[in-house]
Chain A
Amino acid sequence: MPPVFRHDRDAGADELAWLAFLYAAGELDGAAAADFERRLDADQSAREAVAEAVLLVAAAATAGAPAVAARRRSRAAVAATLTLAAAAGLAALFAATGWLASPKNPRGVPGAAAESVALAWSGLRDDQDGVAPPRDDLVAWLDEAPDAVPSEPTGDDDAPPPWLLEAARLRETPAPDGRGS
C-alpha cells in the first residue's frame, strides 16, 4: 500500500480512536455523542474502537495501581527528606548559635551534628523498613504534585515529628547575634 494511503488510514484510525475515547469518557456533548452513537449503530470499527478505548483505560488503571503504592512510598520519602533536612537544620542551628562550644558545653560536641542527622536517618530507615525510596520517584512525585508536600504536621504517619519541623523553622529565624541563615 502506498505510504500516503496508509497515512490516511492511520489518520482515520487515530481520529476514530480519539472520538471513541471521548465518548467512553463522557466528554462528548449531546449532539456529538448522538452523532457518534449513530455511527456506533452502523459501524463495527467504531464499536471496536470504544472497546479498545476502555481496554486502554483498564490497562492504564491497572498499571497505575502499583504507582499508587509507589506514591505512598514517595510520600514517606518526602517526609523522610523533610526529617533529614530538619535534622540538618537543627545541627546547623546549633553550630550557628555556638551551642556546640558554649560554656555549658565547653568541650563542644564535635559529633553532635552528625549524630543528630544519623539518628534521624536511623529512625527514617526504621520507618521505611530498610527500603530507601528511589530518588527519581521522589523527584517525579514532587514534580507531579508540588503542592502535596504538607507545610504543617498533619498527624499522618508519614509526617516528620513536630519538633523537627520546629527546628527547621528556627533555622529560618535570625539568631540573636544576627548569624541565622
Chain B
Amino acid sequence: MVDANDRTGQGGRHVEPAAGPVSVSDPAEARAYVLAAYEEHGPELRRFVLGVVRDPDAAGDVMQAALSKALELGHTARPETFKGWLFRVAFHEALAARRRHQAGAAAVRRLADLGLAATSGAARPDEGLIRVETVEAVRRALGDLPDEQRRVVVARVYGDQTFAQIANDAGLPLGTVLTRMRLALKKLRHALRPAAGDGD
C-alpha cells in the first residue's frame, strides 16, 4: 500500500509540481512531482471519485489505487495534462470499484451523506476540508432561495427522496421539480464561485 501521507518521497520536503516536463531520468524527482501534484489535486479528485462511486469506502480504495498508478506511471504524463491524466486514471479505477461494490449495494443513499462523506473519512485530513467561507456562502444562498426551490433542495439533499418521489409527494409535475432544483443549483453554484478553491 502506498503511504498517502508521504507526500514528497523526499523526507518530507515539499515539491511544487514542475512547470517543465516530468523528469523520467530521475525517479526520485518524478515521484516527488507526482506526489506534489497528487497533493494539489487530491481533494478535488476525491470529490470526483465520490460522485462516481457514491460510496466513501470505495472512494478510499480508488484514491489509493489512483495514487499507486500515478506513482508507477505518472512520469509518463506531461505536466500540463497531468491533472486530466490523474482524474482519468481515477475514473477508470472508480468504474471498476463501482462494479465490485455494486453487489453489496452499500452506497450512500442520502445526498447529504455523500456530501458529509466528502468532508470526512479522507485518507489525508486536508482531502476532506471545506472552507468555512464556502459553507457560509452556501448557507446564505440556501436562505435566499425562494421557498419552492429550497423545499426541493432540502427534500433531495437531506431527505431520502428522488425527484420523482418529491414530485409525487408535492403533486407537481416532475419537470417542475427538476426546474426548481436546476434553478436552485445555479444560484448555489454562483454562491460557490467567490469561495471556490476548496482544497484544490
Contact = CB atoms under 8 A, between A and B. Distances in A.
Interface string A66-92: 000000000000000000000000000
A64 interface: yes
A59 interface: yes
A59 B134 contact: yes
Contact of B138 (A44, A54, A60): A60
B112 interface: yes
29 contacts: A14-B186, A17-B186, A24-B51, A25-B156, A40-B52, A41-B91, A47-B48, A47-B84, A48-B48, A50-B52, A51-B44, A51-B45, A55-B47, A55-B134, A55-B192, A56-B188, A57-B111, A58-B118, A58-B130, A59-B134, A60-B112, A60-B138, A61-B113, A61-B116, A62-B116, A63-B136, A63-B142, A143-B147, A144-B151
A53 interface: yes
Most buried by A among B83, B88, B95, B111: B111
Given A57-B114, A57-B157, A23 B91 contact: no
Nearest to B109: A26
Contacts of B112: 57, 60-61, 64
Nearest to A59: B138
Interface of A: 14, 17-18, 20-21, 23-27, 37, 40-41, 44, 47-48, 50-64, 143-144
The majority secondary structure among interface residues of chain B is: helix
Contacts of B157: 57, 60-61, 64
Contact of B51 (A23, A59, A143, A144): A23
Contact of A37 (B95, B139, B153): B95
B36 to A, nearest CB: 19
B185 A56 contact: yes
Contacts of B147: 143
Interface string B50-86: 1110100000000000000000000000000001100
B24 interface: no
Contacts of B186: 14, 17
A144 B158 CA distance: 13
Contacts of B138: 56, 59-60, 63
Closest 8 CB pairs of A and B: A61-B115, A57-B115, A24-B51, A63-B139, A58-B115, A58-B118, A51-B48, A50-B51
B126 interface: no
B120 to A, nearest CB: 10
